[in-house]
Amino acid sequence: MSHPLRLGIAGLGTVGIGTVKIIQAHAALLTARSGREIVISAVSARSRGKDRGADLSVYGWEDDPAALAAREDVDVFVELMGGAEGTALDATRAAIAAGKDVVTANKAMLAHHGNELAAMAEEKGLVIRFEAAVAGGIPVVKALTEGLAGNEIRRVMGVMNGTCNYILTRMENAGLPYGDVFEEARGLGYLEADPSLDVDGIDAGHKLSLLAAIAFGKKVSFDDVELEGIGRISIDDIRRAGDMGYRIKLLGVAQETGRGLEQRMTPCLVPADSPLGQLQGGTNMVVLEGDSVGQIVLRGAGAGAGPTASAVMADVIEIARGSRISTFGQPASLLATPVPARANSPAPYYLRMELSDKPGALAKVATVLGDEGVSIDRMRQYGHEDTSAPVLIVTHKTTRDAIDHALKRLPATGVVSAEPVAIRIETV
């Protein structure tokens, strides 16, 4: 049997301790599957004295994660601290400089520095694996990099932030407004230390940018992801969308278009009876479409100690087995620079507006939409509330540009009493 694979684990929080516990609980199983022992040489975190609910006394300790990364008795640096910059990035660079493979759960770091780190690692014949960085326990990086390697990928789509899905489904199920459920999620410890990472779509956008790089053979380009959070989604929109047969999701979509690479993480309507529409609570779902395989749906826990550590260990075992897959599925030098394309591919749209109680009001709205080439598929008007009535319109396929032009012209009709809401309906 080969010599043991020796790990240095930096970060002993939720994911780090989850990883330690798997290694302690399943030593024999991991050895059998890897063909060699997997051992922890040393660990690092901010506070050495903290009780972490696991026995760490047999491992070496380093206060400085970069020193851990460079230790002689470490083969793989397991970065589980988090943060796009600072200590995690410095230590990862130090690990590569010292000739160590890297396993990380850090989507923020890879979304911002993945191209540089991949190039550095590959120059030295090292690997960086990051299954845990995208959709927690769901093996989506491996699905794309290995299982679907023979396909031209047509589209990558999914709900990749459990906190946002929890908030949206909780709003619907309990009939509570966004602010109340946001506070509830904070109380439950679901939100990142900086909640905007979750609710503004940034965390999910990081994940999407990593999947897009693998799927389309492009450099990671997080800055090109069109981001919109869930903060403006009202309980009214959730209810009304439900009446029309849809649910609202913070949905990521990446696809190659004739204009370039479209990457967006925005609220979208999906059919309520589709797998994405049925997704409840903090669960994640990723939908992959390949030219040969068709559609694959992966669903599971996107966060938490066990699921995320499960993904970390999958990467560790991959390295222990001797697999040397390029960071984004092909050598970094072969990844093309993407041409970003704004999400303007045709889709049906959901429009909600408040119309004044005046004769001909609806006709004026229909005229504006018609002038902009937006065709109405379905429409519903609700009873008047004071002097206005909520109206819902589902359009036939149209472009974001056409919708934006129409929205700009609606105030001039004098019959729309509040700012209309327009949300794309995604075909799944």
Catalytic residues: 207
DSSP assignment, residue 145? Answer: I
How many residues sit close enough to ligand HSE to count as binding (CB under 6 A)? 9
Residue ranges in 183-202 that form contacts with ligand HSE under rule CB under 6 A: 192, 198
Residue ranges in 36-65 that form contacts with ligand NAP under rule CB under 6 A: 44-47, 50, 65
What number of H helices and E strands is found in the chain?
Answer: 14, 16
Sign of CA dihedral 277, 279, 285, 288: negative
Using CB under 6 A, which of 19, 87, 310, 327 touches ligand NAP? 87
The residue length of the chain stands at 428
Does residue 136 belong to the site contacting ligand HSE (CB under 6 A)? yes
In whole angstroms, how close is the CB of 284 to ligand NAP at the nearest point? 10
Residue ranges in 95-124 that form contacts with ligand NAP under rule CB under 6 A: 105-107
Secondary element (H or E) of residue 264: strand 260-271
Does residue 158 belong to the site contacting ligand HSE (CB under 6 A)? no
Q: How many CB atoms lie within 10 A of CB 363?
A: 10
Query: Nearest-CA neighbor of 306 among 103, 19, 92?
Result: 19
Per-residue binding string, ligand NAP, 62-81, x by CB under 6 A, is ---x--------------xx
CB closer to ligand HSE, 5 vs 159: 159
First-to-last alpha carbon distance for the chain, in angstroms, is 48
Q: Retrieve residue 76's tokens.
A: 């793989």
Residue ranges in 287-346 that form contacts with ligand HSE under rule CB under 6 A: 302-303
- From the list ligand NAP, ligand HSE, none, which binds 163 (C-beta under 5 to 8 Å, kind-based)? ligand HSE
- Part of the chain binding ligand HSE (CB under 6 A), chosen from 66-74, 158-166, 270-278, 412-420: 158-166
301 contacts 280 by C-beta, under 8 angstroms = no
Secondary element (H or E) of residue 331: none
Does residue 209 belong to the site contacting ligand HSE (CB under 6 A)? no
Per-residue binding string, ligand NAP, 287-326, x by CB under 6 A, is ----------------xx---x------------------
In whole angstroms, how close is the CB of 165 to ligand HSE at the nearest point? 8
Q: Retrieve residue 30's tokens.
A: 């991991």
Report how far residue 402's alpha carbon sits from residue 222's, in angstroms, rounded to the nearest whole number. 26
Using CB under 6 A, which of 9, 14, 168, 389 touches ligand NAP? 14
Cα→Cα distances 231→17, 177, 186, 343, Å: 33, 10, 14, 20
Report how far residue 287's alpha carbon sits from residue 300's, in angstroms, rounded to the nearest whole number. 12
- Part of the chain binding ligand HSE (CB under 6 A), chosen from 3-11, 24-32, 155-163, 379-387: 155-163
Q: Where are the alpha helices (DSSP H) in 233-304?
A: 235-243
Does residue 136 belong to the site contacting ligand NAP (CB under 6 A)? yes
Strand partners, 254: 156, 263
Residue nearest to ligand NAP (CB): 13
184 contacts 250 by C-beta, under 8 angstroms = no
Report how far residue 216's alpha carbon sits from residue 335's, in angstroms, rounded to the nearest whole number. 9
- Part of the chain binding ligand HSE (CB under 6 A), chosen from 159-167, 213-221, 364-372, 398-406: 159-167
Cα→Cα distances 358→6, 216, 361, 418, Å: 75, 51, 6, 15
- Part of the chain binding ligand HSE (CB under 6 A), chosen from 20-28, 160-168, 234-242, 320-328: 160-168
Instruction: Catalog residues that contact ligand HSE under the rule CB under 6 A.
Output: 136, 161-163, 192, 198, 203, 302-303
Instruction: Catalog residues that contact ligand NAP under the rule CB under 6 A.
Output: 11-16, 44-47, 50, 65, 80-82, 87, 105-107, 132, 136, 303-304, 308
